[in-house]
Chains A and B, each alone.
Chain A
Amino acid sequence: MALSTKHLLGIKDLTKEDIQLILSTASQFKEVLQRPVKKVPTLRDVTIVNLFYENSTRTRISFELAEKRLSADVVNFTVSNSSAAKGETLLDTVNNILSMKVDMVVMRHSASGAPHYLAKHIDAAIINAGDGINEHPTQALLDAFSMQEKLGQLAGLKVAIIGDIMHSRVALSNIYLLKKMGAEVMVSGPPTLIPTYLQEAMDIKVEYNIDKALAWCDVANVLRIQLERQNQPLFSSLREYNMAYGITKQRLDKLSKDIVIMHPGPINRGVEIDSDVADSAHSIILDQVENGVAVRMSCLYLLTGRTNPA
């Protein structure tokens, strides 16, 4: 059994079996990461380039650690100190890198569809580490892994994705994944940050009242307000956003049950989530980060096996 795809461009392209395979392999890698020696020789002689056309801390470090724990050779590329700044096209950059015998490309790009474009033109396996406002598949996979670890199974789980849905690739990847695994999904936030077609297109619930959304869900996945992607004012002020939609202790205390709090980071403390919630016992935000390495090791391992058939 292997993955049905050569690349990991988005959750949209994965089958339910692919997702299960990635998650179960990730739990074996999580065990590897508890060992006294955390490095395995699995991807010896596999060369991976990390192409980051957009800023990233967590994802880049997480991928790099995953690659190094698997003994792959790693090359890092950030756009600010590269030839892209001199006007080289994406395809030229990648073809130049590949001519130096690279097996896999991990790419983050601000243009939605950039990795899909690349996949049509090159042979190496591509992992999408976030493309514009489209998808961020490894984030959704590590979110799913963390939910499964905390709550047992995804099927039947009620997950509310809260905040800036419009500009969030994390939201879209999570919606695809959760629907495929049989969870119920609700999005919540200001109407200006929720695309109008989403409810119909993805068959999910939309709730503009944050308190009702929290009362409904088992898990609240709180998203960052992405000011850098907003060209026009979509809400009046950060303070007002916090008052109307922020996840505060006061809001959670009103609920008759405990819910699990997630956030893909980076957190805007005091805007979409308050510190006492983010740091509370119900928050699994740091578990998400820890699990990210194991989940990415799983993706890298399964794709390497997939692209080198017997």
Chain B
Amino acid sequence: MTLISEQQLPSIIKRLAHQILETYPGLTNAVIIGLQPRGIYLSDRIVAALHQELPADQVVYGKLDITFYRDDIRRELHLATQTDLPFSIEGKTVILIDDVLFTGRTIRAALDALLAFGRPSKVTLCVLVDRKPSRELPIQPDFTGKEMIDASPYKVKVRWKENDGVDDVILLVD
């Protein structure tokens, strides 16, 4: 079942970029950080949309891997991917970007990981899909592509052209 179609996805990404700009005009003192591994496809697109509106040097963009901050190493081994934050986040507004907000545990780990790089003045969250009824921690997004109202037994799969050959979001039976 399709949650976001290939036709809808570009307008949602454009809307998220515009909402971010509306809240943080010119991205003054703000940095964009995509979460590895799957969040960076979305953050790449949003950053591309921001580049349409702003000079490239005003968009400060990095990637963060949170594997070493997870709380489940004794349950499952995850492999780390590249962290690339070539700038200081001290005193900045950090806009975290991930594809799906589910239990909230990844964002919990990301907040922990961020603090290893400095003390941001503010952290906000942008996600493509918010699975609100499945939350296990008190974490909410500030910018949301699509919110799921009902608890769903399905897996939400975000597919990207670069990786999966198609741009859309579908529900999968486990």
Contact = CB atoms under 8 A, between A and B. Distances in A.
B83 A42 contact: no
Contact of B73 (A31, A37, A39, A42): A42
A41 interface: yes
A28 B65 contact: yes
Contact of B68 (A1, A42, A306, A310): A42
A35 interface: yes
A96 B25 CA distance: 63
Contacts of A70: 68
B77 A32 contact: no
A68 to B, nearest CB: 14
A35 B86 CA distance: 10
A40 B116 contact: yes
B97 to A, nearest CB: 20
B79 interface: yes
A28 B81 contact: yes
Interface string B62-75: 00010111100111
A252 B69 CA distance: 46
B57 interface: no
A242 interface: no
Contact of B76 (A35, A37, A310): A310
A258 B30 CA distance: 46
Interface string B116-138: 11100000000000000000000
Contact of A305 (B69, B73, B82, B116): B73
A159 to B, nearest CB: 27
B80 A28 contact: yes
Nearest to A303: B77
Instruction: Tell me the dominant secondary structure on chain B's binding face.
Output: loop
A183 interface: no
Contacts of B83: 28, 31-32
Interface residues of A, number: 25
Q: Which of A28, A43, A302, A306 has the most CB of B within 10 A?
A: A28
Given A35-B116, A308-B74, A308-B75, A40 B80 contact: no
A304 interface: yes
A2 interface: yes
A310 B118 CA distance: 33
A248 interface: no
Contact of B82 (A31, A40, A301): A31
Q: Which of B68, B80, B83 has the most CB of A within 10 A?
A: B68
Contact of A302 (B69, B70, B77, B116): B77
Contact of A304 (B69, B73, B81, B115): B73
B112 interface: yes
A112 interface: no
Nearest to A40: B68
B149 to A, nearest CB: 31
Q: Which of B77, B81, B116 has the most CB of A within 10 A?
A: B77
A36 interface: yes
B69 A306 contact: no
Contacts of A41: 68-69, 112
Interface of A: 1-2, 21, 25, 28-29, 31-32, 35-43, 70, 301-302, 304-306, 308, 310
Given A28-B80, A40-B69, 15 more contacts: A1-B79, A28-B67, A29-B68, A32-B68, A36-B117, A37-B115, A38-B116, A40-B116, A41-B69, A301-B73, A304-B74, A305-B77, A308-B73, A308-B75, A310-B76
27 contacts: A28-B65, A28-B67, A28-B80, A28-B81, A28-B82, A29-B80, A31-B82, A31-B83, A32-B68, A32-B83, A35-B116, A36-B116, A36-B118, A37-B115, A37-B116, A40-B68, A40-B69, A41-B68, A41-B112, A42-B69, A43-B73, A301-B73, A304-B73, A305-B73, A305-B77, A308-B73, A310-B75
